[in-house]
Each structure stands twice: as C-alpha cells, then as structure tokens.
C-alpha cells in the first residue's frame, strides 16, 4: 500500500512539472493547490515558474473555477491586502519566480466544487511574450492541505531532470 501511495504521489508531482527540459519555454515545479472545505469559494495555487525567455504570466483557466487570476498579497500600512496583478507577472529569462502563500499566486475563484486533499486540479496557465503573443501550459496540479510540497518533499527535480511521459504539456501558441 505504501508503494502505491508513493507512486501516486510521484505521478501527481510529475504532472505538475513543465516540459522545460524538452525545449519548452516554461518550466513549472512544485505546483500545488490548497484544499478547500464545503462552501469555500476561492483558493490559491502555488508553484515555481522559470521561463526560458522573458514572459509574463497573464492569467489562466480551470474547469473547477469560474475565475482564474494572478494575484499578489502584500502588506500595506500594516494590513495584508490581496489584488490581481494587472498586466501580468513578469517572469525574467532563466530566473525562477516563486508563487507562494503570502505572495504571488494563482487565485481560483467562484469554485464549482470543493478541492479535496490528494485530488488533482486541471489548470491552464496563460503567458505573453514581449511581442504580445500568447502561449498556454496545461497542468494537473495536486491538491494539498495547507503546506503543499516543501523542501525535501516531492521529487526534487531540477532543470534537465524531466521524466518521459509527463502529463504537463508545453507552452503552445
């Protein structure tokens, strides 16, 4: 049973990875969505994103949410505030950008169902390059209670450590 659980966790982690190693323009690592309870209408999705060339993360979509936006949480006059990142989140070439609780994140709002721990959520991220050309990256993101996958958890895969047969499809025009 433990081997089955380990294999399932590895498969879920692999599906949340981008195809950067396969020559695609975006790599996503350690993606996870926060689990919700009945009646909760919003949650966050967190990950590390590295763009091969400079891009902007401008939005997304998911069949589990009516609205998907890129958000930022920050302190303003001693009050934590959250708002949509207008114009998109800059992803400098070759530099990992962390989307994490209390900072930048993908916000799923108007949820159509609770997101249960150990399930997965389909998520499409939308990017724009410097010329305004859109591309998309489809992911299957594991749902975790609270903390997601921290250091020492998941598969610890880095650049060039891609696995054949990953479910994440590369950014496509």
Q: What residue ranges define each of the domains in the chain, with the CATH number in brackets?
A: 2-146 (2.60.40.1890)
Predicted TM-score (pTM) of this structure: 0.74
pLDDT at 11: 46
In this predicted model, which residue has the larger pLDDT, 171 or 74?
74
Contact by Cβ (8 Å): 72, 104: yes
Least confident of 8-12, 103-107, 155-159: 155-159
**What is the average pLDDT value for the chain, to the nearest integer?**
79
Range among 1-5, 75-79, 120-124 rated most confident = 120-124
């Amino acid at each position: 049973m433990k081997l089955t659980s380990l294999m399932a966790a590895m498969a879920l982690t692999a599906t949340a990875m981008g195809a950067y190693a396969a020559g695609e323009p975006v790599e996503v690592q350690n993606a996870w969505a926060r689990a919700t309870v009945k009646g909760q209408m919003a949650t966050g999705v967190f990950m590390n994103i590295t763009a091969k060339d400079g891009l902007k993360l401008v939005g997304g979509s998911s069949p589990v949410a009516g609205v998907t936006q890129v958000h930022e949480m920050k302190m303003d006059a001693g009050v934590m505030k959250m708002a949509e990142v207008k114009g998109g989140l800059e992803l400098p070439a070759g530099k990992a950008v962390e989307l994490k609780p209390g900072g930048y994140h993908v916000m799923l709002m108007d949820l159509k169902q609770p997101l249960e721990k150990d399930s997965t959520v389909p998520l499409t991220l939308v990017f724009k390059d410097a010329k305004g050309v859109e591309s998309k990256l489809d992911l299957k993101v594991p749902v975790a209670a609270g903390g997601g996958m921290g250091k020492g958890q998941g598969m610890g895969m880095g650049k060039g450590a891609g696995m054949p047969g990953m479910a994440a499809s590369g950014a496509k025009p």
